Structure 1
Amino acid sequence: MQDSSFSSPATPATPAASRPALILASSSRYRRELLERLRIPFQTTVPAIDETPLAGETPEATALRLAAAKARAVAAALPATAGRTLVIGSDQVATFDGHQIGKPGTHERALAQLQSMRGREVLFHSALSLLDTATGQTDTVDVVTKVRFRDLPDAALDAYLRAEQPYDCAGSAKSEGLGIALLEAIESDDPTALIGLPLIALTRMLLAAGYPLLEAQ
């Protein structure tokens, strides 16, 4: 199911006919907004997959499996007449005390998440997959971000949640917004990974696939 499309305000000089199509296999507005930073044309398509973790599966394995599965599902649904297409799949799994942390969905569950994590370190596995339909090859990577939460009182946590309502975010805090006030430290090789789409890894993959990113506008 196609969700939306985006065309960059500044189109690269490379003729459109020579560029492969680019699809973001995601329903996340956060990933879409991150990809828009690259100023390249792309479409978004919502992949129809079961995102339930498998029994005994590690958080890293879950994130990598789902990122690749999203890309494959969207690629498989493309018409036979579609030309070369690069499909981006991404998934994020947060883990704390050996347990996977999902999206809270409600204020009460978000508050419980933040209460359990205050003063503690949480690992975020942000997996990325780039599938090239011309070759069938898939490039995948897991970017790990370590986040240490501040030890804040319940009143502060509750006030934050009511202000930003991050109920669709694993970990119940938006580091790109007011949620940064809840964090003591962030350790990562890619500052965009925590938001949901590791752009440093993605641009490496796109350049390796021959997709033009840095040509004169």
Structure 2
Amino acid sequence: MNTHIHCKLILASSSPYRAAQLNQLQLRFQCLSPDIDEQPTPGETAETIAHRLSIEKAKAVAKHAPEAVVIGSDQTAELDNAILGKPGSPQKAIRQLQACSGKTVTFYTGIALYQEATDTLYSKVVSTHVKFRTLTSQQINNYIREEQPLDCAGSFKCEGLGIALFEEISSSDPSALIGLPLIALTSALNSFGIDPLLTNNAS
């Protein structure tokens, strides 16, 4: 881990998707990848995994920057009581989308903000229900070939062509589906005295 800290706001992630989302709030921040074991523990649900890992990610990075406010986030997906992971290969991505076709998948996006110096923690899990269209094999194959969503839980990128896979999305925070719930994050930042509407966090 690169521990050269020069920001008071840190995103505990190496995800380019989450970094791009956080850039929407026009805040100065630094990205540091947390070094944690992301394997689920026996009996954990998709929701509890997202909650636990978002906190663990934030706390792992906060050890290297106790004065900073660290943002941790994690996302899991659940279909028919089974957890959907990142496919990692085109074949697995195809199988995931075949399983999701015509069904509703629930995504759980956990967010945690932690400042070690004050031992202050904010955490929340936002759920998003996604109803997939009934997809043909050709549609699925074309989509996987076009966007290569192999590092995404559920095998899609909703900020791109993946939005065409869906019939309906239901959530209190639509940005959560990409990986970082910006509405919940803004509320959390406000509780730490950081208001994106009033400051660019440059000091």
Instruction: Indicate whether the TM-score tops 0.5.
Output: yes
Match of 2:15 in 1: 28
Match of 1:120 in 2: 103
Q: TM-score, normalised by structure 1?
A: 0.88
Runs (4 or more) in structure 1 with deviation over 3 Å come to 2-6
Deviation at 1:209, TM superposition (A): 1.0
Match of 1:139 in 2: 122
Residues 28, 216 of structure 1: CA spacing in aligned structure 2 closer, same or farther, 3 A cutoff?
A: closer
Q: 1:42 and 2:42 equivalent?
A: no
Q: Percent identity?
A: 48
Deviation at 1:191, TM superposition (A): 1.2
Which runs of no fewer than 5 residues in structure 1 stay unpaired?
A: 7-19
Q: How do residues 98-113 of structure 1 correspond to structure 2 at under 5 angstroms?
A: 98-113=81-96
Distance in 2 (CA, whole Å) between partners of 1:102 and 1:5 is: 32
Distance in 2 (CA, whole Å) between partners of 1:201 and 1:156 is: 34
Match of 1:167 in 2: 150
Match of 1:16 in 2: none
1:92–1:124 contact (8 Å) kept in structure 2: yes
Indicate the SS of the match to 1:194: helix
Residues 216, 194 of structure 1: CA spacing in aligned structure 2 closer, same or farther, 3 A cutoff?
A: closer
Distance in 1 (CA, whole Å) between partners of 2:195 and 2:63 is: 25
Q: TM-score, normalised by structure 2?
A: 0.94
Counterpart residue type for residue 133 of structure 2: R
2:186–2:195 contact (8 Å) kept in structure 1: no
Indicate the SS of the match to 2:76: strand
Match of 1:13 in 2: none
Residues 3, 160 of structure 1: CA spacing in aligned structure 2 closer, same or farther, 3 A cutoff?
A: farther
- The structure 2 residue matched to 1:91, chosen from 61, 64, 74, is 74
Distance in 1 (CA, whole Å) between partners of 2:3 and 2:153 is: 22
Counterpart residue type for residue 50 of structure 2: A
Give RMSD over aligned pairs. 1.8
Counterpart residue type for residue 34 of structure 1: Q
Distance in 1 (CA, whole Å) between partners of 2:91 and 2:190 is: 43
Which runs of no fewer than 5 residues in structure 2 stay unpaired?
A: none
Counterpart residue type for residue 2 of structure 2: Q
